[in-house]
Amino acid sequence: MKISLKNIIVPSIPLAVLSVGFCFALWMSTFFIHNIHAAPDTNNIFVDFLLLLFIPNSLVSYLLSFSFNLLNAFLLAQLNNKYTLIRTRTFLPILIFLLLMGSWSDTHSINGSHISLTLYIFSLFYFFGMPRDPKASEKAFMCSLMLSLASLFIQPIIFLIPVCWAGFIMVQSFSLRTFLASIFGALAPWLLYIGGLFVFQSDFDLTTLFSMNLYVGINIASYSIPQIIYYTLLTIIAIVNLVGMYSNAYSDAMNTRVNLNFLILQLVSTLILIFVFNQQFAVFLPIIAFVYSVLVSHAFTLKNNNFYVYLFILFLVLNIFYAASKFFKI
């Protein structure tokens, strides 16, 4: 008996609203039930301002962060539609992104990370538009500018700019002009930021500005059994879906294949940043969720067989059980 995900891939409006509502309920359940997260210690003026404006663990903070998630889900859909990352209309990237973010309760009060993801998505819009564009240097400037603005909230994101240089080579848009434009785009926000500090806060210790809480390595013992099982299965699902994605690669346009390869490079680079800056693990999760949702949705959408249907059901159940496990001491 063949099972299909067609009704979820292209859902009716009531089903789409119900799916988003379920993700919202999953998100808000942590506010009423889950243990309160302590506000992070930070020397970042932008993050401190957000913490002052929207008190962590407050209802306003939770609602605002979910609103940013809805915005990012909308931008995800627009990115997919504009650059045809998945060559058919599909709701799955939105559903998977919101489901992951709803399950990852550590992200629910860090609005700076959601703002950074918004800027990260805008950088992808500029990057994907670079091939065969006579104004590629302007888009290289804007791509790096968006990432540099994101790094004002999460400083290690600045290291994704060199990854974009590798991407320029992948899309055959690397030149001295695009490279210099990218450098200037990366420097502009930080030069304005540092200049403003010297004007309005002359006693500011500049050394604290570049303190990124470097902590290399991951302590497996610090993770619970449900977390280890969850992340292991998520990784296996991603690998299986990537194999499925590449098995259909011949049907995708060349630009689509390059863009998907670049997203894989971004995913690997972000995982390396998590390894190097492990104390800031949670702030990278929105970017991980975004890229993960695009990549796994490709096979889930285009592979019309029972295996991927069952794998998708496993993915849904896995995230629901993981979210539920947060309420129990295991």
| Residue 69 burial (10 A CB sphere; 0-12, 13-18, 19+) | buried
pLDDT at 36: 47
pTM summary value? 0.90
Could you tell me if 308 and 244 are in contact, meaning their C-beta atoms sit under 8 angstroms apart?
A: yes
pLDDT at 54: 63
Tell me how far CA of residue 243 lies from CA of 2, 60, 247, 307, in angstroms.
Answer: 21, 41, 6, 13
CB-CB neighbours of 151 under 10 Å: 22
Question: Residue type at 236?
Answer: I
**Count of residues making up the chain:** 330
Residues 6+ apart with CB under 8 A from 53: none
Could you tell me if 308 and 243 are in contact, meaning their C-beta atoms sit under 8 angstroms apart?
A: no
Q: Kindly report the three-state secondary structure assignment for every residue of the chain.
A: CCCCCHHHHCCCHHHHHHHHHHHHHHHHHHHHCCCCCCCCCCCCHHHHHHHHHCCCCCHHHHHHHHHHHHHHHHHHHHHHHHHCCCCCCCCHHHHHHHHHHHHCHHHCCCHHHHHHHHHHHHHHHHHHCCCCCCCHHHHHHHHHHHHHHHHCCCHHHHHHHHHHHHHHHHCCCCCHHHHHHHHHHHHHHHHHHHHHHHHHCCCCCHHHHCCCCCECCCCHHHCCHHHHHHHHHHHHHHHHHHHHHHHCHHHCCHHHHHHHHHHHHHHHHHHHHHHHEHHHHHHHHHHHHHHHHHHHHHHHHHCCCHHHHHHHHHHHHHHHHHHHHCCCCC
State residue 211 phi and psi, 5-degree precision. Answer: -85, 110
CB-CB neighbours of 87 under 10 Å: 15
Report domain extents, the chain.
9-35+42-205+221-325
pLDDT at 313: 93
pLDDT at 182: 95
Could you tell me if 4 and 309 are in contact, meaning their C-beta atoms sit under 8 angstroms apart?
A: yes
Both structure tokens of 16: 């789409």
Q: How far apart are CA 30 and CA 104, in angstroms?
A: 10
pLDDT at 39: 46
pLDDT at 108: 84
Spell out, as residue ranges, where the chain has pLDDT lower than 50: 35-41
pLDDT at 208: 63
